[in-house]
Amino acid sequence: MGLIWTVIVTILLGLVIGFLGKAVAPGSRDNIPLWLTVVCGILGAVVGNYLYWALFGAADGYRGGDMHDTNRGLDWWRHAWQVGAAAVLVVVAATVTGRRDREA
């Protein structure tokens, strides 16, 4: 049962972070498909989490253990890094797929 919940939470996290990444990405990035938004969100969460942990480590000397546990509460800065990474990935995905708005 644990694996199923991990997959469900990962997809939901990817959906939320992907849409937030789309919202902060420059320009109109609404034409990438939903599945690609979720993939960008999941990858953005992983990449942003790793970058945050590599740069800042655990907050306030907290000895929580691994890179997924950096403080005692909700780590808003880590989530901001995840959304930023997702925004970059959304821009890259929109550029690679060539599905941009064309105003003529």
Q: Does residue 65 fall inside a structural domain?
A: no
Of 49, 45, 36, which Cα lies nearest the Cα of 9?
Answer: 45
Does 104 fall in a domain? Answer: no
Calpha distance 41→13 (Å, rounded) = 7
Domain total in the chain = 1
In a domain, 31, yes or no: yes
Q: Is residue 66 part of a domain?
A: no
In a domain, 27, yes or no: yes
The answer to whether residue 16 sits within a structural domain is yes
The 10s digit of each residue's pLDDT in 20-69 is 888 888 776 667 888 898 899 999 988 988 888 788 775 555 555 554 55
Q: Residues 6 or more apart from 10 whose CB is under 8 A from it?
A: 42
User: For all residues of the chain together, what is the average pLDDT?
Assistant: 77
In Å, how far from its chain's centre is CA 42?
A: 5
Half-sphere exposure of 21 (CA within 13 A, CB side): 35
Residue 32 lies in a domain: yes
Q: Nearest to residue 17, comparing CAs of 86, 73, 77? A: 86
Kindly state whether residue 30 falls inside one of the protein's structural domains. yes
- Are the C-beta atoms of 83 and 52 separated by less than 8 Å? no
pLDDT for residue 7:
79
Q: What domain range includes position 34? A: 2-60+71-97
